Structure 1
Amino acid sequence: MNKSVMDTWVGLLVAAGLGAMLFLALKVSNPAGFGDEPSLILNASFNNIGGLKVNAPVKSSGVVIGRVNRIQFNPKTHQADVTLTLNTTAAFSTDTSAEILTSGLLGEQYIGLATGAEATNLKSGGRIQYVSDALVLEQLISQLIMNKAADAKPSP
Structure 2
Amino acid sequence: MARRTMEVTVGVFMLLGVFALIFLALQVSGLTPGGNGSTYTVYARFNDAGGLTARGRVSMAGVTVGRIRSIELDRDSFQARVTMDIDGVIDNIPTDSSAVIRTSGLLGEQYIDISVGADDTSMADGDSFYSTQSALNLERLIGNFASGR
Same fold (TM over 0.5): yes
Specify the code of the residue in structure 2 equivalent to 1:78: F
**1:125 CA displacement:** 1.3
Q: How does 1:1-156 map to 2 (within 5 A)?
A: 26-31=26-31, 33-90=33-90, 91-147=92-148
Specify the code of the residue in structure 2 equivalent to 1:135: L
Unpaired runs of 5+ residues, structure 2, are 1-10
Specify the code of the residue in structure 1 equivalent to 2:129: I
TM-score with structure 2 setting the length: 0.79
User: RMSD over aligned Cα, in angstroms?
Assistant: 2.9
Q: Give the secondary-structure state (helix, strand or coil) at the position aligned to 1:128.
A: coil
Q: Give the secondary-structure state (helix, strand or coil) at the position aligned to 1:139.
A: helix
Q: Give the secondary-structure state (helix, strand or coil) at the position aligned to 1:140.
A: helix
Q: Size of the alignment, in residue pairs?
A: 148
User: What is the aligned-residue identity percentage?
Assistant: 37
**1:87 CA displacement:** 2.0
Aligned to 1:6: none
Question: Which structure: larger Rg?
Answer: 1
Are the structure 2 counterparts of residues 14 and 79 from structure 1 closer, same or farther at C-alpha, using a change threshold of 3 Å? same
**1:109 CA displacement:** 0.5
Residues 25-71 of structure 1 deviation map (CA, whole Å, 9 limit, x = unaligned): 55554446524124221101111011111111111101111111101
Q: Give the secondary-structure state (helix, strand or coil) at the position aligned to 2:148.
A: helix
**1:95 CA displacement:** 0.4
Unpaired runs of 5+ residues, structure 1, are 1-10, 149-156
Q: Give the secondary-structure state (helix, strand or coil) at the position aligned to 2:118.
A: coil
Q: Distance in 1 between matches of 2:140 and 2:18?
A: 49
Aligned to 2:3: none
**1:23 CA displacement:** 5.6
**1:137 CA displacement:** 0.3
Q: Distance in 2 between matches of 1:85 and 1:92?
A: 13
Are the structure 2 counterparts of residues 144 and 98 from structure 1 closer, same or farther at C-alpha, using a change threshold of 3 Å? same
TM-score with structure 1 setting the length: 0.75
Q: Distance in 1 between matches of 2:104 and 2:21?
A: 30
Specify the code of the residue in structure 2 equivalent to 1:129: Y
